[in-house]
Amino acid sequence: MPELPEVRAQAERLAATHVGAILERFQPITFTALKTAMTDPSAAASRPLDELTTRGKFLLLRFGDQTHVVHLMQGGRLITDEKMSAKPRNGIARWRFVDMDALLLTEAGKERKAGVWVLTGDPLTQAPLDGLGPDADTVDLAQLETILSRTGGRLHGLLRDQHQLAGLGRRLANEICHTAKLSPFAAASKLTPDEVAQLHAAIHTCIDVSLEFERSQTAMVASAKRPAEVHNRTGEPCPTCGDVVRAVEYNAYTVNYCATCQTKGKVLADNTTSKFLK
């Protein structure tokens, strides 16, 4: 799933070309595209696109007092649409502009979870944005300490919890834990002050590295091309110490880590209990 750096960079690319363009009409293409029913998206017609920004993993397109909140989910992309064909491949929804290429929301695969929330007023106080934690790249050390202290879960899970920190996913959670030299299964509330400082620095470092990479691209790239030292590197040497990158496999995702760098040489059991092997 695209995370904060990928979504942020794509928003910047699209904002550079489309902010100020007049919306002709918003067109849901599939039945599942529109996630709200109360606000009429046609009210945004003839208004300029005032902003194209992000909140966590969401894209926000603002037309006056109406905001279109877009979640790409796993296979979604928001791209320019020069052809504007009647049945675009993987098309979910389209924004047509006056004298400007359209924007097209696509979603590969069959999940059909990507979509658009059309909101009036402050979008940050309404679903799906109202329950988000702070964007991960805005969190200072004191805020992070508070978030960790009130959470009883494991570190990797906390990093991916959008109610705690918005914008992080599986790849960045793996990379942050590795950069911070912390076990992904460390108890979040029991980290020492030094470990919290390491984690805080790692969050900002990993986001900055990823954002720099994404800004160097002309479009959102495939997940396999994004920078990673341990994520999806099972069996490869750790670039820091040379030990093998290991994995704890779950049904929906994989936790990657380096035992030498992160768990004092102990290998985690590859099961959902994630207990240390003796």
> Looking at residue 177, which CATH number applies to its domain?
1.10.8.50
Inter-CA distances, 270 with 15, 64, 246, 254, Å? 43, 51, 9, 10
Domains: count for the chain: 2
Give the residue numbers spanning the domain of 224: 136-262
Same domain, 158 and 77: no
Q: How far apart, in Å, are the Cα atoms of 113 and each of 74, 108, 167, 206? A: 8, 10, 17, 27
Q: Are residues 251 and 157 both part of a single domain?
A: yes
Question: 257 and 145: one domain?
Answer: yes
The ranges of the chain with pLDDT < 70 are: 271-278
Q: Are residues 166 and 112 in the same domain?
A: no
Tell me whether residue 276 is in a domain.
Answer: no
Residue 271 counted as domain residue: no
Residue-wise pLDDT tens digits, 185-212: 999 999 999 999 999 999 999 999 999 9
Closest CA to 61 of 112, 104, 90: 104
Residue at 27: amino acid letter: Q
Residues 201 and 240 in one domain: yes
Q: What is the pTM of this model?
A: 0.93
Given this model, what pLDDT does residue 271 score? Answer: 58
Does 32 reside within a domain? yes
Query: What CATH number corresponds to the domain at position 68?
Result: 3.20.190.10
On whether residue 220 sits in a domain, the answer given is yes
Q: What is the DSSP string of 169-195?
A: -HHHHHHHHHHHT--TTSBGGG--HHH
Strands 245-249 and 115-120: unpaired
